[in-house]
Amino acid sequence: MLAALDPAAGPILADAERQGIAFVRRLFEEWQSGSNRFERPGEIIFGAWQGEGLVGLGGLNRDPYTAEEGVGRLRHIYVLGSHRHLGVGTLLVRDLLRHAESHFRTVRLRAASPDSAAFYRRLGFAACDDPAATHLIRVPPIA
């Protein structure tokens, strides 16, 4: 799946580097080294496209920071600076959570900044007190 995003990822990589956000490059390095290819049970990576252009991406891993079963982890959610506040990030997270419903009971993440923490709270995530995560949500979400 990431192989499909790779040729289109140039603008996203450049945008993230300009903003000093390292995790997009790490995502592709880890895919190339084979250390994280989002291919274990329940894992997936999604891209958001506008025509031929990749404008956002985000992944779901089994959470590597816990031995507990049924815990997923959102990874590397990134939307091009020029395409933020249009709902792209919300679509990515909603699709990832929908996918998670069949595989995990809880999805956690570590918010990269206070801004992204506000974004996840708005999507229904609760803050959590864990060294490995800042937010979590039960899937399917409790209304």
Give the residues lining the site for ligand COA (CB under 6 A).
21, 77-79, 84-90, 109, 111-113, 115-116, 118-119, 122
Instruction: Report the residue number, 4 or 22, with the smaller CB distance to ligand COA.
Output: 22
Nearest of 132, 107, 128, 101 to residue 117 by alpha carbon: 128
- CA–CA distance, 78 with 28 (Å, rounded to integer): 13
Instruction: Report the residue number, 31 or 41, with the smaller CB distance to ligand COA.
Output: 31
Give the nearest residue (CB) to ligand COA. 89
Spell out the residues 6+ positions from residue 106 whose beta carbon is closer than 8 angstroms to its own.
70, 71, 72, 136, 137, 138, 139
Closest separation in Å from C-beta 118 to ligand COA: 4
Closest separation in Å from C-beta 78 to ligand COA: 4
